[in-house]
Chains A and B, each alone.
Chain A
Amino acid sequence: AQSVTQLDSQVPVFEEAPVELRCNYSSSVSVYLFWYVQYPNQGLQLLLKYLSGSTLVKGINGFEAEFNKSQTSFHLRKPSVHISDTAEYFCAVGEGGGSNYKLTFGKGTLLTVNP
């Protein structure tokens, strides 16, 4: 079974600063990687995904992530954050095939953007 490690449970940053949220996963033959964002009292929204192809993927709200197979990482970055980016961010890996496919999530990183 896959496992996902988000090393930082909380990341405080100032507005307009860059941010990187780290995610590592256990290795597998086929890897499908996702970042979801959860705003306060809301559900999970897909931020971006890596399925194949280019290792740098861009998502919504100016976020991007880089798939690094050798380091089994999928870190999330944004060059300049806004107050509205304050939320919990979850890294997830898809495993299994067909009807057995499911997501395994990391514990989440709470990003707090301060003025």
Chain B
Amino acid sequence: EPEVTQTPSHQVTQMGQEVILRCVPISNHLYFYWYRQILGQKVEFLVSFYNNEISEKSEIFDDQFSVERPDGSNFTLKIRSTKLEDSAMYFCASRQGARREQFFGPGTRLTVL
């Protein structure tokens, strides 16, 4: 069964550094998402991406964040200058065209020191 994959599983970085989180969505899916979950809190929507552009972004997704689909398979989230409060689990998700369910990857745990 096809799955969403994410790398790395855990990323440790120093405050102010740039990080890139990588995702490979399910191959025939058209809509791509990033969510995050701060420890002990709920999963929050960050951004949705369709047809090579951002469809919607939350207020969390400020100028420090960007997303890209550099080729036909990868979907990346970049944080330009990390802050302590960016420490969280970041989930990538994808969705097939007309279907409503989203399929999530295993997540990348980002720790900012």
Contacts and interface: CB of A to CB of B under 8 A. Distances in A.
A34 interface: yes
Q: Which of A44, A90, A108 has the most CB of B within 10 A?
A: A44
Nearest to A92: B43
A34 B101 contact: yes
B100 A101 contact: yes
Interface residues of A, number: 25
Interface residues of B, number: 25
Interface of B: 6, 31, 33, 35, 41-45, 48, 50-51, 55-56, 91, 93, 95, 100-107
Interface of A: 32, 34, 36, 42-46, 49, 51, 90, 92, 94, 96, 98-108
Given A49-B101, A108-B43, 10 more contacts: A32-B100, A34-B101, A42-B106, A43-B107, A96-B56, A101-B31, A101-B100, A102-B48, A103-B33, A103-B45
